Amino acid sequence: MTDQDTRYEAVRSRDARFDGAFFFAVETTGIYCRPSCPAVTPKRRNVRFFPTAAAAQGSGFRACRRCRPDAVPGSADWNVRADVVGRAMRLIGDGVVDREGVPGLAGRLGYSARQVQRQLTAELGAGPVALARAQRAHTARTLLQTTGLPVTEIAFASGFASVRQFNDTIRAVYAATPTDLRAAVRASLRAATPSAGIPLRLAHRGPYRAGPVFDLLAHEAVPGVEEVSGPPGGRTYRRTLRLPHGTGIVAVDERTGDAGRPSAVHPGGWLDARLSLTDPRDLTTAVQRLRRLFDLDADPYAVDERLGGDPRLAPLVAARPGLRAPGAADPDEYAVRALAGRAAAADLVRGHGKALDAPCGTLTHLFPEPAALAGGPGPVGTLAAALADGTVRLDPGADRDDAQAALLALPGLDARTVAAIRARALGDPDVAPPGADVPDTWRPWRTYALHHLRAAEEPTP
């Protein structure tokens, strides 16, 4: 059976495990869909497969209005892979192309713009401009259908260079005008202004074990910057965000949902969130950072299948299917916090954090940026200076091995702290404690294996 035959079987069985891993388009209708689309399965001869939504759009197909393929979780490959394509996709998701253009993306990766274009097009069927365009279209649809912002403001907030470009893209991707997309949603479902908060559904694939994620966030929460409130099973995580164009406050609910039915664990669904931004241009970046924090683009089927084959981990995986390995909303912030500890991090917020213009309950400050801590006493000041001047890079496109080497070269950072930074700030799914004898059967998901041991309160290597 060929890869395309396997993909068609996934489409025919409406297998949600492959949502985001690939897309299929129907030549007779001109529409592209996610594999789990509930519509009648098209005939095999009429189906084409694409690795990305951007590739399908580039071939002239428009998004299905029924399954909304632009709202699927991202491919798990981009978080796992450490090569240039994986790093590029993480940077594009963070909005780098919109802010810095393709030359900026290429410069961060250490390649020429032509090399980046060639590698992305060869593997994904679309270059960085097309990939960013598809992302802008999704951001625009979200703003059109969840806020009362004027259409002209939405065009520029989504990253488009002109209203004409915005209108042309929306028509090409959705076969509808911006006004049509907005009219498809009842006015009562749209927030009056972005300051009232943009409602979001942060999609995930497969089961999502939310409890341990919220337990960890509650344990680590730094006063003034974060809080976790509510009873277990119904908690809400809130935090402040420093973003490229402004600031944000986000609230994410613990319960996962599907078709309006909440549950602690679900075979596929979303986390409900609400995001308040001082500048709506930050929507794409904020969403991607939340996805990394909550590990929403993971493939729990691949992780559980591998770890479930290990005798020690098998009962733990069976007890907690879909356990995630949380990342970080701000990699530089996490590195400082990992080194300083929670109590000292709270002192840094009080002494150096920027106060919000409009505090929201207990959320009063942004965590201090590295430049505000650079030159301070001890290892924290040294680390902050290295982050501020680029000696250490922890952004989504950073090379993980280079970052680890740069961290280990700094005084005051031991191997265990650096391993924690690599797992959380850099999102590496395969980090083991330094010097530990960890079974090969845990690879390439050793980070997840350790989370299973901790969740079960078992000794870690």
Q: How far apart are CA 156 and CA 162, in angstroms?
A: 7
CATH of the domain at 43: 3.40.10.10
Contacts of 12-18 with CB under 8 Å at 24 or more apart are: 12/41, 14/38, 14/41, 16/205, 16/206, 16/267, 16/268, 17/205, 17/206, 17/299, 17/301
Burial of 189 (0-12, 13-18, 19+ CB in 10 A): exposed
Active site (annotated) includes residue 180 = no
Please check whether residues 31 and 44 belong to one and the same domain. Answer: yes
Residues 287 and 223 in one domain: yes
Per-residue pLDDT of the chain (461 residues; tens, 9 = 90+): 568 999 999 999 999 888 988 999 999 999 999 999 999 999 999 999 999 999 999 999 999 989 999 888 888 887 778 899 999 999 999 999 999 999 999 999 999 999 999 999 999 999 999 999 999 999 999 899 888 889 999 999 999 989 999 999 999 999 999 999 998 876 655 554 555 689 998 999 899 999 999 999 999 999 999 999 999 999 999 999 999 999 999 999 998 776 444 334 444 689 999 999 999 999 999 999 999 999 999 999 999 999 999 999 999 999 999 999 999 999 999 999 999 999 999 999 999 999 999 999 999 999 999 999 998 999 999 999 999 999 999 999 999 999 999 999 999 999 999 999 999 999 999 999 898 889 989 999 999 999 999 999 998 88
Pairing of strands 236-242, 226-229: antiparallel
Domain assignment present for residue 441? The answer is no
CATH for 254: 3.30.310
Identity at 80, one-letter amino acid code: V
HSE of 323 in the Cβ direction (CA atoms, 13 Å)? 29
User: Is position 184 within any domain?
Assistant: yes
Within a domain: 451: no
> 27 is in which domain, residue-wise?
3-71
User: Where residue 375 sits, what CATH number does that domain have?
Assistant: 1.10.340.30
Q: Which of 33, 37, 64, 67 is catalytic?
A: 33
- Residues 248, 210, single domain; the answer is yes
My answer on whether 55 and 13 are in the same domain is yes
Last residue in a domain, options 291, 319, 352: 291
Count helices and strands in the chain by DSSP H and E runs:
21, 12
- Do residues 63 and 81 both lie within one domain? no
172 lies in the same domain as 226: no
Handedness of CA 205, 293, 392, 106 (dihedral sign): positive
184 with 89, same domain: the answer is yes
Is the pTM for the entire model greater than 0.75? yes
Residue given tokens 């991707």 in the structure block: 173
Residue type, 135: Q
Q: Which of 130, 157, 189 is the last residue of a domain?
A: 189
Q: Is the peptide bond before 444 cis (omega within 30 degrees of 0)?
A: yes
374 and 274 housed in the same domain: no
User: 106 CB contacts (<8 Å, ≥6 apart)?
Assistant: 112, 113, 115, 116
Q: Indicate whether 355 and 370 sit together in one domain.
A: yes
**Chain-centroid distance, C-alpha 2:** 31
Cβ burial of 441 (10 Å; 0-12, 13-18, 19+) is middle
Catalytic residue among 3, 357, 437, 440: 437
φ and ψ at residue 132, rounded to 5 degrees: -65, -35
Supply the pLDDT for residue 263.
39
Quote the tokens at residue 194: 């972005």
Q: Dihedral sign for Cα 444, 447, 448, 453, please.
A: positive
pLDDT of residue 196: 65
Domain annotation covers residue 319? no
**DSSP H or E segment with residue 89:** helix 84-93
Same domain, 215 and 262: yes
Check whether residue 358 and residue 407 sit in a common domain. Answer: yes
Tokens standing for residue 248: 């944000």
Burial class (CB in 10 A: 0-12, 13-18, 19+), 425: buried
CATH number at residue 93: 1.10.10.60
360: annotated active-site residue: no
> Which value, to the nearest 10 degrees, does the dihedral of the CA atoms of residues 112, 113, 119, 125 take?
180
Beta bridge mates, 270: 203, 257
Cβ atoms of 385 and 370 closer than 8 Å: yes
| Site of tokens 């241009």 | 281
Strand partners, 229: 236
d(CA 363, CA 249): 8
Number of Cβ within a 10 Å radius of residue 336: 25
Residue 461: inside a domain:
no
Q: Under DSSP, is residue 95 helix (H, G, I), strand (E, B) or coil?
A: coil
Structure tokens at 394: 């922890």
Judge whether 260 and 296 are in contact, CB under 8 Å: no
For residue 82, being part of any structural domain is answered with: yes
- Looking at the structure, do residues 46 and 64 belong to the same domain, yes or no? yes
Q: Quote the CA–CA distance of 102 and 119 in Å, as a whole number.
A: 13
Residue 58, domain member (yes or no): yes
Domain boundary at 71, 89, 110, which?
A: 71
Q: Are 54 and 32 in contact (CB under 8 A)?
A: no
Domain count, the chain: 4
Residue 284 resides in a domain: yes
Distance CA 228, CA 239 (A): 9
